Chain A
Amino acid sequence: MSWIQTLNFPFMQHALIAILFAGIAFPMIGVFILSLNLIPLRFAMMHIALLGGAIGLFLRVDPIFSGMLLCAISSLALGPISEKTKLGVGTISGYFMALTLALAFILFYKADIHVLQAFNILWGNILSLTWLDLIFVIVISLIILSIIFLFFKEIQAVLYDREIALTVGIPEKMFYSLIIFMLGLTIAVSMRIIGALLVDAFILLPAMGAVLISRSLKQIFFFSSLFGLMSGIIGLYLSFLLDIPTSSTIIIVASLIIAVCFLIQRRSTMQKLKKVFTRGRMSVLMFLMGWILLLNFPSSTLAQEAVVASTSLAGAIAKAAGAEEVRVIVSSEMRHPPEYDLKPSDLLKFEGAKVVIYGGYERMVSKLLETSKNKNVLAIQINTDTSPENLISQAKKVSEVLKTEKEEQIWERKFLEKLKELQKKISPFSGKRAIVHRFAQPFAQWAGLQVVQIVSPGELTPKVIGDAIAKNPELVVDIYHVPVAQVIAENAKCKYIQVINFPGVDHTQSLEDIFEYNSKKLLQIFQ
């Protein structure tokens, strides 16, 4: 598949439009951050967005909307608060960062949401942009560009020296607050839409490179936009060519641009570079780059009946259901799917798929389905509870869609035999008093453990730990993917194991492997 052909896919068109706008406009916000030393504010905004999301989840309103709203309100308030307290935006940002994070954690605890799950609300990826996301990016970019165009001289004075801006008769406080408002809004939106990684790639890194080589504010704005565009387009292209995660590739390209700017900034290096890059050599280099552009990308050819699974567990269920070719998106090594950074080939998997199986908590899947060109794909949401009964029922559900009921029945028989065999092995330990992570509950029940307390996946409170120790457990069963309960085992001086719900650890692949791995852990700890 060639570079040009990839442009037929909506996800590629959307990514390029986003790069065009965000690549030009967002680095200008980076110039504000660097000139006014607002880096702490950038971090604070990310945490404020998280609190906004937590409030949304707690009040059962859209967390995306509440996150953006809180960021907008906070960015309006931060400027005047720092003025009144005379503490500076950096110090105030530190205060808000700590406070909002603490408040968000309390809300997550009260709403019984795991923090890692909560971060899912802030998941964004440039390869999964919907039209609504694009409209957000375009509108904010146009606002930034218009403000800079209309108020260039006022902004120049404020960035140069706020005191001087004030003394020449510019309403400096108003412009400073406007800058902070634009910054807050851009960070909130870009974090949610293009992902936390790309916030830096599009906002901060191009501005850093531009500041190194520019001799005026106009040049800084020009070069930061140019570098933003270059890193976006080159990064997207390379991620296709090498089939590596897109956001990370864009970051690496942006970082390389900064390194080149640093070399250019040093005149002695520049003179040496001029000797190395003669006209003849540059022509050869340009020819090579052109040739690379025409290279074909590794294409993803899928069988007509291919099944795409969001996680390794969904993939194992699909296999159990009798699917022949299953493509898993989130690699099995990934402890937590919501943080997954997409590769272009992941998107192409969708294009040829007949069925997509997902758990419902992976926001990326719903977005990918929305942006996919393949509208004939059938999405099956499954329940990912790992009790044997549920796994069988989910495999049946998938097999009905795939028309592979016979294969499923064969698997089911083997699966139940395997479980019987394993249950026999671990039977000496059934009845052990256990404190169990909520996600490990299906395994604990299957293994016949006496569950004396269940711990939630959030931060443990002193009371929960105290209660657990008082129950005098013999074993703590934690979950490998999001462990929280080791502290209980250490204080209660009892055995501790981590079990898995997703295959992938220690070469586990199938649903049987999950039970075998977990049973082995139980056997090992008591032998």
Chain B
Amino acid sequence: MHHSVELIDVHVRLGHVDVLSGINIEARPCELISVVGANGAGKTTLLKIVNGTLTPFKGRIFVLGHDLSQHKSLNFLRRDIGVVPQRSNSIRFPIRVEEAVLMGRYGKIGLMRRPRKEDWDKAFEIMEAVGIRQFCKKLVHELSGGEQQKVALARALAQEPLILLLDEPTTYLDSSAQSEIMETIHTLHHQRELTTLLVSHDSRLVEQYSDKIYLLKEGKSYLTK
């Protein structure tokens, strides 16, 4: 069985700064991997590399058996990778929860095609699973931080991904909301047999949910669990 995600000796430079200098990370199918590190350690950069939105200047990246350096367009692959970003850029954009979740299906629906009934059913099923079904008609920016994070999680899961990438999913949340969202992630990870890569600055919070934990420090990765 091949690894779902494998990073071999990856180096990334942003401007004149070496953000990552020799990262080695591997995630097998259905593993929940956490990458922890201080602010500015390169955690978000790491997720962008896996998603193919950032290209390293050295090293190799394999995602679902594909060598990313061999592909010009990665849109086909991105449809199998769900991403929960730290925070949406468009905080005030008027969009209902159900529309935001359905957006996860857009890549799979294809260009110039309207969402079908199956796509809406899938979106509602995920909203139910994540616990936001009751907010479906509300605008995303009217929800609390924790609820917005669940919407982002639901959108990523609506893609029916094989890999789930989460960027600091508990930031801006109070402690009870942090535990709640981590429980939801953990449950759905197992239910849907996902390979999950989660980055966080809070190693204590993620420890009990993770199969493996990597520490990012000074551009290097260290396996700590």
Contacts and interface: CB of A to CB of B under 8 A. Distances in A.
Interface of A: 35, 150-151, 153-154, 156-157, 159-171, 211, 214-217, 219-220
B78 A168 contact: yes
Interface of B: 51, 53, 73, 75-76, 78-79, 81-83, 85, 88-90, 93-96, 99-100, 103-109, 111-112, 114-115, 139, 155-156, 159
A217 B155 contact: no
A209 to B, nearest CB: 14
B95 A169 contact: no
Nearest to A213: B94
5 contacts: A153-B103, A153-B114, A166-B78, A168-B106, A216-B96
Given A151-B111, A160-B95, A217-B94, A169 B75 contact: yes
A153 B76 contact: no
A160 B93 contact: yes
A216 B78 contact: no
Interface of chain A, main secondary structure: helix
A164 B94 CA distance: 15
Contact of B85 (A154, A159, A164, A214): A164
A167 B76 CA distance: 11
B103 A167 contact: no
B96 A169 contact: no
A171 B75 contact: yes
Given A35-B93, A214-B94, A220-B94, A157 B83 contact: no
Contacts of B85: 161, 163-164, 167
A367 B95 CA distance: 45
A156 B111 CA distance: 13
B111 A154 contact: yes
Q: Which 4 A-B pairs have the closest CB atoms?
A: A169-B107, A169-B79, A167-B83, A169-B78
Contact of B106 (A162, A169, A216): A169
A29 to B, nearest CB: 17
Contact of A215 (B51, B139, B156): B139
Nearest to B87: A161
Nearest to A215: B94
Contacts of B89: 161-163
B94 to A, nearest CB: 5
Nearest to A220: B94
A168 B159 contact: yes
Contacts of A153: 103, 106, 109, 114-115
Contacts of B115: 153
A262 to B, nearest CB: 15
Nearest to A149: B112
B40 to A, nearest CB: 18
A509 to B, nearest CB: 57
